[in-house]
Amino acid sequence: MVKKLTVVILAVLVSAMVFTQTITFWHTQVETDRQQRIRALAQIFEAQTGITVNLVPIEENEILEQIPRAVQAGTLPDVVEGGISPILLLGSQGFMDTELNAKIIEDFGDVYEGVSRLMQAPDGGYYGVPFHAWVQGIWYKANLFEERDLGAPTSWYNILTAAKALNDPANGFYGLILPKKADAYTEQVFSQIALSNGARPIDKDGNILFNTPEMIESFRFYKELGKYSRPGFTAVPEALNGYLNNEAAMVFYSTYIMDDIAVEEVQKNRVEHFDPKLVENTGFANFMVNIRPSSFGEVVGLGILNTSDNKDAAEQWVKFLMSGSNYIYWLHMAPGGMNPTRSSIAQMDEFLDNPVLERYGKDQITTIISALDTVERFEFMEGEIIEEMSILSGNFVIGRAINRMFANDWTPQQTAQWAQEEAERLLSD
């Protein structure tokens, strides 16, 4: 792919047009190899259109700090690439061209509905165009499930049944790995469980709902799963290493785990022995259901700003990045972690032509990515943004509640009541 792209760059540079426009593009891909890829794409784009792209890499954790400075200095970019939080922050302050972003989604015609909803603005437009995404679900030892005739862990019943059946602590093997630290990972796992039970911390009217029967039932299920979990207040690295090291039958994780499971060099960076059969013995439950189905994930968007004086050029850049080989070249920066938000790209053989993705095969990749149609988060409800969730997430209310539930052996009711009071305190400040 790299050689092919280099040839294309050289070819198009020969016939390059005299550029007349420059746009500024903020992006969060700061790693050296990723920046090289983006520069290559910008060179091709300039040669094809005459438009120069001023690339500005910004650390993901710093982009929210950069936005107010750029607003004050009048130096906002024409296009920004970033996660939901910066896109929503700019959108909620009126800096996003919701009509133009909506037009691009409509022009493509194949952007997954679930990820689009996460970028929808109250005016019916979109704060950004969903660019790439990861999905969280349960990765499980499918061979063990088959041996015990267990159903795939897509329902509360199946998950708990499998956790009980496969739990074997005497031999250092557990039903699952469940996070219990007061961090974002715990909130992400609990989000999927709660949403599948129709529970949310806050509704559209700002009512705090931690003490509802649905939420208490979600805490109860989480605590029940803890009986069959690998011991400890697990964080992300321990969860990943535990699954790779064959310490548990199930783990909640995003699609960023795919290269760890499939590629020997990557797996050996985490555990001593490579398991060549792990990829074929691993299944992925891409949704969860109790009273309703739900998936959880993160979306990175491309947003064109209202302040841009070069909107036509910005639109061309966004469409260039999300089309054909250009799009696939970007996505292959992180195969499995960066998944296409356009269904036509997900089914292209060229997208699967990758050392990681080809190990899973077209059917499994398509199944994994199809979860993007049902992705949900606490921050969004029926097309509206629940802004208060950023305060609760920033203060790790859910993570701290679950951590205390296990550390203090609280009942689900005690846990829910603590979370209710903590949320009320934070949101009243």
User: What pLDDT sits at residue 17?
Assistant: 47
Q: Give the span between the Cα atoms of 224 and 217, in whole angstroms.
A: 10
Token output for 142: 């499918």
What pLDDT is stored for residue 75 in this prediction?
Answer: 94
Q: What is the mean pLDDT of residues 81-96?
A: 88
Handedness of CA 195, 197, 203, 207 (dihedral sign): negative
pLDDT of 377 > 60? The answer is: yes
Highest mean pLDDT among 4-13, 56-65, 76-85, 99-108: 99-108
In 3D space, the residue among 361, 357, 364, 360 whose CA is nearest the CA of residue 332 turns out to be 357
Main-chain phi, psi angles of 130, to 5 degrees: -55, 125
Calpha distance 37→169 (Å, rounded): 46
Alpha helices in 55-153 (DSSP H): 63-73, 84-92, 98-108, 113-117, 142-147
Token duo for residue 270: 């985490």
Q: What is the pLDDT of residues 219-263, one digit of tens each?
A: 999 999 999 999 998 889 999 999 999 999 999 999 999 999 998
Cα 193 to Cα 143, 188, 190, 301, 429, distances in angstroms: 24, 9, 5, 25, 29
Spell out the domains of the chain, with CATH numbers in brackets: 22-134+297-369 (3.40.190.10), 135-295+376-428 (3.40.190.10)
pLDDT reading at 301 higher than 50: yes
**Which two tokens mark 120?**
């929808």
The pLDDT of residue 18: 47
Residue 84 confidence class, pLDDT cut points 50, 70, 90: confident
Q: Which helix (H) or strand (E) holds 158?
A: helix 156-166
Question: Residue 416 carries which side chain, given as an amino acid letter?
Answer: A
pLDDT in tens, 181-208: 999 899 999 999 999 999 999 998 999 9
The overall pTM is greater than 0.85: no
Q: Inform me whether the pLDDT recorded for 5 exceeds 70.
A: no
- The pLDDT confidence band at residue 93, using thresholds 50, 70 and 90, is confident
Predicted confidence at residue 7, as pLDDT, reads 54
Of the chain, the percentage scoring pLDDT greater than 70 comes to 95
- CA–CA separation, 311 vs 358, rounded Å? 38
In this structure, what are the phi and psi dihedrals at residue 237, rounded to the nearest 5 degrees? -60, -40
Distance separating the N- and C-terminal Cα atoms of the chain: 53
Q: What is the pLDDT of residue 272?
A: 87
Q: What is the pLDDT of residues 303-329, one digit of tens each?
A: 999 999 999 999 999 999 999 999 999
Q: What is the mean pLDDT of the chain?
A: 92
Average confidence (pLDDT) over 21-35: 95
User: 40 vs 298, which has greater pLDDT?
Assistant: 40
Interacting residues of 343 by C-beta distance below 8 A, sequence separation 6+: 110, 111, 112
Rg of the chain on CA atoms, in Å: 22
User: Contact, 247 vs 334, CB < 8 A?
Assistant: no
